[in-house]
Amino acid sequence: MYSQVYDFFQREVLPYGDPRSKDWFLLQSNPVPVWIITIAYLLFVTLGQKFMKNRPAYDLKWFMIIYNLGLVVWSLYMVIEIPIATWKADYNFICAELNDERRKDPRELRVAAVMWWYFFSKAIELLDTVLMVLRKKNNQITFLHVFHHASMLNIWWWVGMFIPSGLSFFGSWLNSLVHVFMYAYYGLTAIPAARPYLWWKKYITKLQLIPILLQKEIEYDERGNALLDEDNKPKLRCGFRIGGGIDQDNTLSAQGYPDKGVYVTYIYENGPGHKAGLQQHDKILQVNGHDMTVVTHKKAVEYIKRKAILNMLVYRKGVPQIPSSQQAPVYNPPQFSSPQRQPPMPHSPMHRPDHNFGRNSPMHSPSRHYQPASPGHHSGFDRSSFDAMQAKPY
């Protein structure tokens, strides 16, 4: 089977490779080296966290400084070189023609070269996750993070192999610009004396809008039976709670949200939201194509509940984090290996977004502290008020 696939690839695909770049390092007219790197990366992420579980985190301060500031220089080179190379090759933002005649133009070789450097940087940036594993920053290793790094290396193998010029320059330039600021911040945070001057942290993520693909999960009772909704269909949970909307007073929010947007107020560990890479305080901009920036809270809930798969666009801001002692409870799906009655789960509304800060919610108290739920306890969240749309988010 492998030989047949390889023969087909050699016969039907490789002849279309760009003759200038197809034999360059890591392209080499063969995707196998990149596949090996990707598999090794995924194995390290999985096994490395288990290896580090009972070991102290490594102190990699000096390596972090050198690594991140090195990537700043690398990204800055591409930010400067890409527009210079494309300008000299007579590119424009509307059409950058690429054909056999253009490939013979020596000016195009300079564009192809900087595209290769961008591709190679995706291999180096896999160390982002390696450092997280060694420093035991497992909360930062989300599915979205790992998927992004693994897929970017493979996607850019195809770009470098077949179209290392043309309009592929624009996305790489924009990403390099973001990385200049991002890696500068990461490098400087490793220097204690520089931390008081990183006031611009909150502006970094304004350069990035984050796509989230969330698959809801069926909710079960303590006996392992799927719960049903009013239409006799399985109830689905999304694993997060929301607050906000244009009809709400954001000044009453516990975290001091700056506007009337819709925000993720809690993420339940091991739930669909956590697995998809959603984070507490993300501002939801879109859900399945619906604009969430100027909607009421009721309409936001309606959009989120409508489909089993949520294709979301979020904006990650520098909002203060709730201390871990006040975080929402960890959700561990029950195991139904025997017909015996299982211990009750925490009574949590993970399958629905939350109407936070309602009259019956502990977030409405003067302390505004969320108390983790205990088995059989509603933790101040009234399901009937959610269904009736009575509780207020703020």
Give the active site residues: 148
Phi/psi region, residue 99 (left: phi>0; alpha: psi -120 to 50; beta: rest), is: beta
Q: Are 242 and 284 in contact (CB under 8 A)?
A: yes
Give which of 176, 159, 167, 169 is closest to 24, Cα–Cα. Answer: 159
CA angle 186, 204, 290 (to 5 degrees): 130
**Residue 341: exposed, middle, or buried by beta-carbon count in 10 A (0-12, 13-18, 19+)?**
exposed
- DSSP collapsed to 3 states, the chain: CHHHHHHHHHHHHHHHCCCCCCCCCCCCCCCHHHHHHHHHHHHHHHHHHHHHCCCCCCCCHHHHHHHHHHHHHHHHHHHHHHHHHHHHCCCCCCCCCCCHHHHCCHHHHHHHHHHHHHHHHHHHCCHHHHHHHHCCCHHHCCHHHHHHHHHHHHHHHHHHHHCCCCCHHHHHHHHHHHHHHHHHHHHHHCCHHHHHHCCCHHHHHHHCCEEEEEECEECECCCCCECECCCCCECEECCEEEEECCCCCHHHCCCCCCCCCEEEEEECCCCHHHHHCCCCCCEEEEECCEECCCCCHHHHHHHHHHCCEEEEEEECCCCCCCCHHHCCCCCCCCCCCCCCCCCCCECCCCCCCCCCCCCCCHHHCCCCCCCCCCECCCCCCCHHHHHCCCCCCC
